[in-house]
Structure 1
Amino acid sequence: MVPVTDATLPNLPLRARPIDIVFAVFFTLFIVTSCIADMLPTLGVDFSRPTGNFLVDSNYWYAHDADPLFMHPPVWMRIVTGLSAFVYMLFYLVLVPALIKGWNWIQLPAVIYATMIASITGIVVFGVEFFGEPEFRTGNPAKFLAFNLPYVIVPLLLLIRMRKPLPFTRKF
């Protein structure tokens, strides 16, 4: 008789892991926002005024109402948006099927990702927005938090989800 160990435990089916469905939905939305919101400032597209283009106008509306720093991003901010547009987005494209199919190997990349998000977005971006130069703090703090807090909270919840070995073999 073979003893049952963590290595031989089968993954739970997706229907028994509803939290992973929620994560898959959120990270699918993050794919879209990486394309819409983060790609434009990274590539230097001017969205300081409405143009009739959906992507430009979406970024203008967000920057004008909630995040003036985003309207004219300094180089460091373009690096942050570039990470989201070209690195995190690729990770999301792998993470979503990993969550759905229960690929346990995604645990370490998910922990690395969540740590980067907490460090870069949570500390640097939020720090500048709330404690940085006054010219970047003229937006609406409530709208800024409403738009941006999920991008820090959801990865931190993913970090908690991935805290134990073989995360898909047990319920959250």
Structure 2
Amino acid sequence: MTTPVPVNLALSRRRIDVFFAVVFAAFTVTSVISDLLPTIGVNFSHPSGNFFVQSNYWYAHDADPLFMNPPDWMRIVTGLSAFVYMPFYPVLVYALLTGKNWIQLPAVIYATMIVSLTGIVVFGVEFFGEPAFRTHNPAKFLSFNLPYVLVPLLLLIRMRKPLPFARKF
């Protein structure tokens, strides 16, 4: 007797995966724009004519003083985003759109790291850490950064089933 092979649901019946694919495609772009620059040491502590530098200046000046002059540990966090998470995003988008169940474990590892590093460490410093790094505008900081923790947390919940894209028998 053979065990039936589960059939994945069509993408049209997995709207949540379309949502995740769109968001993680956007995260690919934001990782390049916002996380690569502090990692490689680009100074954006003052206005600039360069669009990418100016975007980071605007964000850091208005919402995130920790990001304006990142300590070494923060550059490690942004480096993970720029060089580990960012290449993972297109793989994740592909797997979500095509229903590849092998993405489950990498997605869980990724989401756990994001929630731990960003959700706990970075948010902790921003709200409870050294006064120089505390955000002066918590609402703006959260509006920019909460999606980067909540969406991976939702992905973690989405990937809880053994075969996340399969229909039930």
> Is the contact between residue 64 and residue 139 of structure 1 (CA under 8 Å) also seen in structure 2?
no
Q: Give 1:90 shift.
A: 1.0
Q: Verify: 1:21 aligned to 2:5, yes or no.
A: no
Q: Verify: 1:69 aligned to 2:66, yes or no.
A: yes
2:160 to 141, 150, 163: 163
1:99 to 93, 96, 99: 96
Residue 45 of structure 2 corresponds to 48
CA distance in structure 1 between the aligned counterparts of 2:156 and 2:62, rounded to whole angstroms: 31
Q: Verify: 1:119 aligned to 2:119, yes or no.
A: no
Q: Give 1:3 shift.
A: 4.8
TM-score by length of 2: 0.96
Taking only the aligned residue pairs, the percentage that are identical comes to 76
After the TM superposition, which residues 73-152 of structure 1 pair with which residues of structure 2 at under 5 Å, given as runs? Answer: 73-152=70-149
CA distance in structure 1 between the aligned counterparts of 2:20 and 2:136, rounded to whole angstroms: 29
CA distance in structure 1 between the aligned counterparts of 2:3 and 2:75, rounded to whole angstroms: 53
CA distance in structure 1 between the aligned counterparts of 2:120 and 2:58, rounded to whole angstroms: 24
Name structure 2 gaps, 5 residues minimum.
none
Deviation beyond 6 Å, 4+ runs, structure 1: none
TM-score by length of 1: 0.95
Q: Give 1:2 shift.
A: 4.7
Name structure 1 gaps, 5 residues minimum.
none
